[in-house]
Amino acid sequence: MKRLTVKEIFALEPDGRSITVKGWIRTKRETKAAVFLELNDGSRMGNLQCVFGEAEAAANSGEIARAGTGASVSVTGSLVASPAAGQKLELRAESVSVIGEAPAETYPLQKKAHSLEFLREIAHLRPRTNTFGAVARVRNRMAFAVHQFFQGRGFQYIHTPLITASDAEGAGAMFQVTTLDLARIASSGQEPDYSKDFFGKPAYLTVSGQLNVETYCEALGSVYTFGPTFRAENSNTSRHLSEFWMIEPEVAFADIGDNMDLAEDFLKHLVTVALEDCAEDLEFFDKRIQPGLLESLRKVISSPFTRMSYTDAVKELEKSPGSFEFKPYWGCDLQSEHEKFLTEKVAGGPVIVTDYPKEIKSFYMKVNEDGKTVRAMDVLVPRFGEIIGGSEREEGLEVLLGRIRDLGLREQDYWWYLDLRRYGTTPHSGFGLGFERLMLYVTGMTNIRDVIPFPRAPKLADF
Ligand code: ATP
Ligand code: MN
């Protein structure tokens, strides 16, 4: 008989039809009169309860004995209405066969609740828990929603490279990529000869696809990239990974106002999809992980984001100097504690902060008339702060060259990027959304290592 998933089964009526379901046992409960197997197959959060009456339990006693927590099984029976509260269906089981046992003495995921820290150490088994199954399903839906959003607006999806031979991206410390024999070089005491390296020069893993995607923006108009990025910063926080996924749209003829509107629409679209299509998983997160999550997400889609300049944001922060470890002042980079204060205490929701001092932002951001600030826009959210960073880009060749020189960067490293300003330059804007930060936002999970299947962080590259 064809296997039906638990999700498919819960779309059926309890009409007594005969079905086969395959999955993993979450729990087994045995009474005098019946045996209950809770079966989960990952297609949805909820289990299918398989109930063996006395006669069926006796007929299947050998297999039932082997069907402990974690075992994979195939169960056949008839689909009936459930008398138990909280579930509309159950399987009146006739036969069960164990496909793969999971010996209780060694299987790490027994019935009790496990800490997220412990589950990180068994990242290969954690998708079998409610929490990580839900994270995986939401992550899948959000990735699809990203493409739906941009494709629906006529954006072209551009694949930017992961290996880059320019260290000009400037967004953070880079991982070097080399085929040179490091042990030999070290023992020789000589400097590495990069002309002998794979690419004939030093190469790195990308920290952002932005500079590359801008080239396609200046030809196709509205583009985005969605791929892995790598940062070698030694930041051991609950919101930084060494390998994370980033979505970077870039739009020609768009200014910072258009950019803010796009970012706000984008986040609201993603939250709306999560609430609609991942309702069962989000209810779990609301109940077990982050009380109030659903209410705050619903509020996000129904109210406009607060917008304020960096200068006004610093004024707000200066009103409460006692609230911070790091004292805020005009010119300082906003710390996570400041970002949280602005969203949680000042705005009560997401905030878009614009026009940061040019000293703390990247060389490519458009300089304002005041000569002191740039058209940067960061979207901040309650709980962890920055979720999006973006800007209107400097489109003037001379201003951009001036910025590159002032910062001590080498003009020749940017020759092709500068060509975009030499030939047919346009105003344009874009931003980067960290996909795992989005995942923290919609699931209410608190550690970024728990919203990516296999986290990479300093001293952490297992699995
Ligand atoms: P932060 O100040 O939080 O370290 P950033 O300003 O260095 O971030 P950007 O260079 O602006 O980050 O990158 C764009 C987006 O990528 C950020 O808004 C964030 O969502 C995400 N991001 C940046 N660094 C990381 C990281 N190490 N791990 C996960 N996501 C990240
Ligand atoms: Mn940023």
Domain assignment present for residue 122? The answer is no
pLDDT of residue 1: 75
Range of the domain at 21: 3-100
Please check whether residues 305 and 436 belong to one and the same domain.
Answer: yes
User: Does residue 449 line the site of ligand 1, with CB under 6 A?
Assistant: no
Q: Is 156 domain-assigned? A: yes
Is 117 part of a structural domain of the chain?
Answer: no
Look at ligand 1, atom 1, and give the residue with the nearest C-alpha.
Answer: 386
Are 375 and 437 within one domain?
yes
Domain membership of residue 189 (yes or no) is no
Q: Is 143 in the pocket of ligand 1 (CB under 6 A)?
A: no
The CA R_g of the chain, rounded to the nearest whole Å, is: 27
Sheet of strand 428-434, all strands in order from the earlier edge strand to the far edge:
156-157, 222-230, 243-252, 428-434, 385-392, 373-381, 351-357, 306-309
- Predicted TM-score of the model (pTM): 0.96
Q: Are 185 and 251 in contact (CB under 8 A)?
A: no
Judgement on whether residues 428 and 288 belong to the same structural domain of the protein: yes
The rounded Å distance from CA 10 to ligand 2 centre is 43
Q: Is residue 432 within 6 Å of ligand 1 at its C-beta?
A: yes
Cα of first residue to Cα of last residue in the chain, in angstroms, is: 36
pLDDT given for residue 234 in this prediction: 85
Among the three residues 81, 100, 119, which one is the final residue of a domain in this structure? 100
Of 60, 85, 100, which closes a domain? Answer: 100
Are residue 226 and residue 88 in the same domain, yes or no? no
Q: Identify the nearest ligand to the CA of 246 by its number.
A: 1
Closest to 432 (Cα-Cα) out of 382, 395, 377, 384: 377
In a domain? residue 105: no
Domain tally, the chain:
2
Pair (12, 153) in one structural domain: no
CA distance 284 to 144: 21
- State the CATH number of the domain containing residue 36: 2.40.50.140
Angstrom distance (rounded) from CA 274 to CA 138: 7
Q: What is the pLDDT of residue 292?
A: 97
- What's the pLDDT at 169? 66
Q: Are residues 95 and 155 in the same domain?
A: no
Report the atom number in ligand 1 closest to the C-alpha of 379: 18
Does 48 fall in a domain? yes
Residue 132 is part of a domain; what is its CATH number? 3.30.930.10
Same domain, 160 and 237: yes
Tokens standing for 157?
A: 């999806």
**Cα 357 to ligand 2 centroid, rounded to whole Å:** 13
Taking CA atoms only, the protein residue closest to ligand 1 atom 5 is: 389
**What residue owns the CA closest to ligand 1's atom 6?**
389
Ligand nearest to the CA of 207: 1
Predicted pLDDT at 17: 97
Kindly state whether residue 341 falls inside one of the protein's structural domains.
Answer: yes
Same domain, 7 and 149: no
pLDDT tens-place values along the chain, 463 residues long? 799 999 999 999 999 999 999 999 999 999 999 999 999 999 999 999 999 999 999 999 999 999 999 999 999 999 999 988 888 999 999 999 999 999 999 999 987 789 999 999 999 999 999 999 999 999 999 999 999 999 999 999 999 999 998 766 677 799 999 999 999 999 999 999 999 999 999 999 999 999 999 999 999 999 999 999 999 988 899 999 999 999 999 999 999 999 999 999 999 999 999 999 999 999 999 999 999 999 999 999 999 999 999 999 999 999 998 999 999 999 999 999 999 999 999 999 999 999 999 999 999 999 999 999 999 999 999 999 999 999 999 999 999 999 999 999 999 999 999 999 999 999 999 999 999 999 999 999 999 999 999 999 999 999 9
From ligand 2's centre to the CA of 335, what distance in Å?
Answer: 11
| Whether residue 211 is found in the same domain as residue 336 | yes
Cβ of 353 less than 6 Å from ligand 1: no
Pairing of strands 89-100, 48-53: parallel
Residue 429 and residue 313 share a domain: yes
- Nearest ligand, CA 169: 1
Among 236, 240, 326, 439, the mutation site with the greatest number of ligand 1 atoms within 8 A of its Cβ is: 240
In terms of Cα–Cα distance, which of 23, 46, 48 is closest to 38?
A: 48
Structure-block tokens of residue 143? 């990735």
Instruction: Report which protein residue has its CA nearest ligand 1's atom 23.
Output: 434
Does any ligand 1 atom lie closer than 6 A to the CB of residue 361?
no
Distances (CA, A) of 2 to 19, 21, 22, 238: 8, 8, 10, 43
* 160 shares a domain with 27: no
CA of 294 relative to ligand 2 center, distance in Å:
27
Q: Is 154 found in the same domain as 86?
A: no
- The contacts of residue 113 (CB under 8 Å, 6+ apart) are none
Classify residue 401: in a domain, yes or no. Answer: yes
